[in-house]
Structure formats: structure tokens, C-alpha cells
A and B are shown apart, each in its own frame.
Chain A
Amino acid sequence: NAGVTQTPKFQVLKTGQSMTLQCAQDMNHNSMYWYRQDPGMGLRLIYYSASEGTTDKGEVPNGYNVSRLNKREFSLRLESAAPSQTSVYFCASSGPTEGRLRHTEAFFGQGTRLTVV
């Protein structure tokens, strides 16, 4: 059982380049999330998707776009990378928000360490 898989694990970009971070989960979860982690700031939500076909902005969405390709996959795109986007990016997923299983915990991928120079 792979859980949440992110690719790539490491990436170095030049300012202005674009890239897409990939995330896939095999737990049949409805909700998926993209967070960024910066020292002293905890994890901040970039975007989330409550279900297939829907996406919503989180706390720090500027400079990013997302696509919920299907129930399994949720990608994060940087159209024109900036040094301020140097961070560690985590994808996560969680189960239903209603019903008996609504309080299951979120599961995280191993992270993508992105450096923009």
C-alpha cells in the first residue's frame, strides 16, 4: 500500500521556469491538499480539493495552480517560479468529511524539496 506518492523528490529551477509537482493517492480519499513548509512557519495550505472536479484556494495560493485530474491525482503547477517559492512541498489526502469516517486523519507524501535560483 503506497499511500501518497509525490514526484519529484528534489528539483532545482531557475527563476521564471515552470514545473508541475505530481501527487497520487491509492486510498480512495475524497480530499487532497497541497502544503508548503518553511522554517518557523509550519505548514501552510496552498490549495485543496474536497472532491474530484473541485479545487479551492488555501492560505497562500498566489503563484500556483492546481488540477484535480481524477480522484487519485492532484497536481500543483508553478507557472513562473520565483525564489520565494523555494520550499518543501507536501501533498496530503484524507477521507470523507461526512459520515462515520469523517474524522480520519490526513496522510502525507514524502515531500518535494524545491529550490528556485
Chain B
Amino acid sequence: AQSVAQPEDQVNVAEGNPLTVKCTYSVSGNPYLFWYVQYPNRGLQFLLKYITGDNLVKGSYGFEAEFNKSQTSFHLKKPSALVSDSALYFCAVRALYNQGGKLIFGQGTELSVKP
């Protein structure tokens, strides 16, 4: 079965410092991986995805993610955090084959960036 894990419920970072939000996955076959962000009382917004190709994927708002097949990880990164990056972040994997393309989500990581 496919699954996604986000090992940290919360990540605290000072503004201007680099940030990493961790994600590991378990799939059979090639994974299709996504990161979404949720601001308070809002829906989920797409940040970036890995389908194939370069292991470093660049996305919206200066975020990037590094795909590591040997470690089955897809960590979200940003070189310099902003207070406005504070939000809930979700990693997800797309189900394969005849499942309507549904996404399987991790439990989410609350990112807090302090001035």
C-alpha cells in the first residue's frame, strides 16, 4: 500500500534562516509526489510536484523540494524563510492505476517562522 509520512508535527524557524519540512513515502513503482500549503481557514494550494527528471524541483513562493529515491524522501526546502511562510504543509503521493488519480496525504507539518 502507498503511504506518506511527515515525521515532524511542527517546525520552528527564525526568519531568514533556511527551512526544511520532511516527507518520506512508501510506494511500489515510480512515485508521483506533491507538496501543498494550507493557510488558516483556507483550502490547499499546490506548491510543487515531482514526476520524473531532475531530483531538485522548484515551485511557488521560492520553495523547492529534493527527491531522493534511495532514502524514499521528498523534503521541502527554502533557503530563507519568511514570516508569511507560516502555514500547514502537506506532502502527498498520487495513487497509481485505476484509482482516479487520488492523492494520499501525510498528516501535515505546522511551520512557524518567527521574526
Residue pair A40, B107 in contact (C-beta under 8 Å): yes
- What separation, in Å, do the CA atoms of A94 and B49 have in the docked complex? 14
Instruction: Determine whether the beta carbon of A58 is less than 8 Å from that of B102.
Output: yes
Interface size on B, residues (CB 8 A): 26
Interface residues of A (CB under 8 A from B): 4, 31, 33, 35, 40-45, 48-51, 56, 58, 90, 92, 94-95, 97, 102-103, 105-111
Are A108 and B49 neighbours in the complex by a CB distance under 8 Å? no
A105 and B46: CB pair below 8 A?
A: yes
Is B46 within 8 A of A107, CB to CB? yes
Cα-based distance from A97 to B46 in the complex (angstroms): 18
Q: Are A103 and B32 in contact (CB under 8 A)?
A: yes
* A-B interface, 3 closest residue pairs, ranked by CB to CB distance from nearest: A50-B100, A108-B43, A42-B107
Given A42-B108, A43-B90, A103-B32, also A110-B43 (CB < 8 A): yes
Q: How near does chain B come to A56, taking the closest CB pair, in angstroms?
A: 7
In the complex, chain B residues whose CB is within 8 Å of the CB of A103: 32, 49, 51, 94
How many Å lie between the Cα of A103 and that of B51 in the bound state? 7
A58 to B100, CA, bound (A): 11
